[in-house]
Amino acid sequence: MIRYILFDLDNTLYSIRTGMEEDFQRRIIAFTARFLGLSPEEALIRRREGISRYGTTLEWLMGDRGFTAIDEYYAAVHPSGEEDVIPPDPELRRFLESLGLPLAILTNSPREHTDRVLAKIGIADLFTHIFDMRWNGNQGKPLPIAFTRALDALGSGPDNTLFVDDAPRYVQGYLNLGGRGILRDELDRHPDYPHPKIRELRELTRYL
């Protein structure tokens, strides 16, 4: 029985159609190019190679390149005002409230980005916990420790905590722990995904 729902933030609690992902992906590549002294095209290739071994670009830069300016990275990738592309969503708020379960967030983004996005959507007060990258020691999904730290803080287990994310490998990381995970695939970008998935959050009721 599901007793807790653990949500990803970006492209999960708001629509991928807002374009925010494209915006911060461009900023990630621009920052990486400056740091490595490469063209954006070369930085993109290096990032694709490196990130396959890590959950996030930041972890790759830290692990392989000795990067330490973490706050500078977050400020460049997630500047204030980026959330302006997201509209308020009173219907989502009503839906989340109707679930009747405690809700939490596990995100590979920093807390300041998370707080701004949740405030813009109008759902900031609905979550018992927000687990961001800094809280997790800058170790992100799909590392097992990113999930287990959050579950320990919730006092909940993977078998009774439903995890919802838009990235297949992050959901798979949770499934590998014996958890129950749902992929939000709004645009059906992953037609061959072999596990349960939804396009809209309102479909979650089928899995509760």
What integer best gives the mean pLDDT of the chain?
96
Does pTM surpass 0.75? yes
* Token pair in block for residue 11: 């492209």
Report the side by side order of strands in the sheet with 129-131: 129-131, 103-106, 4-7, 161-165, 180-184, 197-198
- CATH placement of domain 4-14+87-207: 3.40.50.1000
pLDDT the model gives residue 119: 97
User: Are 36 and 49 in contact, with CB atoms under 8 Å apart?
Assistant: no
Crossing angle of the two packed helices 57-65 and 20-36, in degrees rounded to 10: 10
pLDDT confidence of residue 78: 96
3-state secondary structure of 180: strand
Q: pLDDT digit string (tens) for 36-91? A: 999 999 999 999 888 888 889 999 999 999 999 999 999 999 999 999 999 999 99
Q: What does the buried/exposed string (b/e) look like for 29-52 if buried means 16 or more CB atoms within 10 Å of the residue's CB?
A: bebbbebeebeeeebbebbeebbe
Does the domain at 20-82 match CATH 1.10.150? Answer given as yes
- pLDDT at residue 196, rounded to an integer: 97
Q: What is the pLDDT of residue 50?
A: 85
The share of the chain scoring above pLDDT 90, in percent, equals: 96
pLDDT tens for residues 81-124? 999 999 999 999 999 999 999 999 999 999 999 999 999 999 99
Give the model confidence (pLDDT) of 144-183 as tens digits.
Answer: 999 999 999 999 999 999 999 999 999 999 999 999 999 9
Q: Where in the chain is the domain with CATH 3.40.50.1000?
A: 4-14+87-207
Predicted confidence at residue 125, as pLDDT, reads 98
From-to residues of CATH 1.10.150 in the chain: 20-82
* Spatial distance between the Cα atoms of 129 and 92, rounded to a whole number of angstroms: 18
